[in-house]
Each structure stands twice: as structure tokens, then as C-alpha cells.
Amino acid sequence: MITLALSKGRIFDETLPLLAAAGIQVLEDPETSRKLILPTNQPDVRVVLVRATDVPTYVEYGGADLGVTGKDTLIEHGGQGLYQPLDLQIAKCRVSVAVRSDFDYASAVRQGSRLKVATKYTAIAREFFASKGVHVDLIKLYGSMELAPLTGLADAIVDLVSTGKTLEANNLVEVEQIMDISSRLVVSQAALKLKQARIRPILDAFSQAISKQSVPS
């Protein structure tokens, strides 16, 4: 049996066409089913639904053989025990620093002020501010990061930005782009050794589907 870990929402939705290219169709819709293990049209392939941040952990410890996870999540996890063969070019966004529109970030940095930064992405934020030589107090949050500067919890946030609409709706402005993000296919190193014959064709089909998508028509 091959087990693929996906999270509900954009990762699931955007992985479906790649699975289709590998001849795999998921037989139930996670938005209507309460099941966490979804069968596919391939009797030896199943999908397990986990929190986005748990995908690397499932694959690392053998709860799944493969998984699809954002580069952001992968960096925070550390990536140990995981082979990352493919950038799937899906769920594209960026990790950025944002502040209230009335906060003068540039001069705070120039003056060497200590910044309070709220984020779910503490590893990425720590590394980024350390590389700039900016002293920060990191405040770990698990969601609704945009609220932190509005309530005085933090001076800045490090969060994902795509269209910028969430920042705009909350009167925040993007002041630094830290890195571009897309999702990766991760494979457990153990599964790659033990189930090579079944996993390799799936990797090849994904890889072909991605290269077709990126060729301009």
C-alpha cells in the first residue's frame, strides 16, 4: 500500500491534477466526507488527510510514504528523514514581513530598535532577522497573524502573502519579501528504498505533468 498525506483545501485541490496525470483519482471529496482515509481508483494507493503542518511529520515517521507540503512548512519542520524530489509549482505564495501602515519599519531597523515579531514561521523569521542583524523578540502564533500588529501584540508579522488582499483588508503593508514559496513532494527515505518500484512511476508522472504545465503554450 502507498499512502499519500495531503491537507484539505488548496494543497488537496492543486495536487488532484498531478495525481490524475499519474492515473490516480481520489474517490471521495474531503469537503463532503468526514473520512480521513480516502480510497483512490488504484487499490494500492490511498490518501490520508492531515493538518498542513503535520504532513512532514507523517512522512518522517512512516505514517505516510509521500506527502505534499509547502516549502514554508518544510523549513519549519527541518526536513529530517525526508527526500524532496520535486517542486510541484503549486500553492505559490511568499513569506513576507508586514507592519501597520503607520509603523515606520525602515527607521526602526535603521535605529537598531528591538522589534516584536509575531509569526507561525519562527525558524524562517529568526534566520531572516539574524542575517539582517536586527534584534527581534519572536512571538509564536498559530493563525490570524494579521491581528498582532493591530492589537499591539507585535510591531511586525512574518506571514504568507499571495494577492496581498488579507494584508490590505487589515491595514497592513508588506515591507520585506523573505522568500518565494511553493509546495514540494516529500518522500520518506525508508519508503523510497522499500517501495521504489511503486513510487518511482508516481514521481515520474508528477514530474512530467509539472514540466508540461510550465511550458508556455
Ligand X SMILES: O=P(O)(O)OC[C@H]1O[C@H](OP(=O)(O)OP(=O)(O)O)[C@H](O)[C@@H]1O
Ligand Y SMILES: Nc1ncnc2c1ncn2[C@@H]1O[C@H](COP(=O)(O)OP(=O)(O)OP(=O)(O)O)[C@@H](O)[C@H]1O
> Which residues of the chain form contacts with ligand X (CB under 6 A)?
143, 159-166
Q: Of the ranges 4-12, 22-30, 148-156, 167-175, which one interacts with ligand Y (CB under 6 A)?
A: 4-12
Quote the least distance from Cβ 177 to ligand X, whole Å.
Answer: 12
- Number of alpha carbons in the 13 Å side-chain half-sphere of residue 16: 13
Q: What is the DSSP letter of 54?
A: G
Give whichever of 51 and 212 is closer to ligand Y, judged by the CB atom. Answer: 51
> Binding-site residue total for ligand Y (CB under 6 A)?
17
Selected from 35, 51, 114, 140, the binder of ligand Y by CB under 6 A is: 51
Q: What is the C-alpha to C-alpha distance for residues 153 and 150, in angstroms, rounded to an integer?
A: 8
Give whichever of 99 and 181 is closer to ligand Y, judged by the CB atom. Answer: 181
Selection from 6, 18, 68, 70 nearest residue 210 by Cα: 18
Quote the least distance from Cβ 146 to ligand X, whole Å.
Answer: 6
Task: Count other C-beta atoms under 10 Å from residue 21's C-beta.
Answer: 18
Residue 94's binding partner among ligand X, ligand Y, none (Cβ under 5 to 8 angstroms by kind) is none
Q: What is the C-alpha to C-alpha distance for residues 33 and 8, in angstroms, rounded to an integer?
A: 11
Instruction: For residue 114, give Cα distances in angstroms to 78, 87, 154, 173, 181.
Output: 27, 36, 11, 19, 27
Residue 165's binding partner among ligand Y, ligand X, none (Cβ under 5 to 8 angstroms by kind) is ligand X
Quote the least distance from Cβ 201 to ligand Y, whole Å.
Answer: 26
Quote the least distance from Cβ 143 to ligand X, whole Å.
Answer: 5
- Region 54-93 residues binding ligand Y, contact defined as CB under 6 A: 70, 72-73, 91-93
Should residue 11 be labelled a site residue for ligand Y when binding is judged by CB under 6 A?
yes
Selected from 2, 6, 18, 52, the binder of ligand Y by CB under 6 A is: 52
Question: Helix 10-21 crosses helix 196-214 at what angle (to 10 degrees)?
Answer: 100
Q: What is the C-alpha to C-alpha distance for residues 170 and 177, in angstroms, rounded to an integer?
A: 18
Quote the least distance from Cβ 144 to ligand X, whole Å.
Answer: 7
Is residue 63 within 8 A of residue 84, CB to CB? The reply is no
Give whichever of 72 and 155 is closer to ligand Y, judged by the CB atom. Answer: 72
Selection from 41, 82, 40 nearest residue 60 by Cα: 82
Q: Which residues bind ligand Y (CB under 6 A)?
A: 7, 9-11, 51-53, 70, 72-73, 91-93, 160, 162, 181, 183
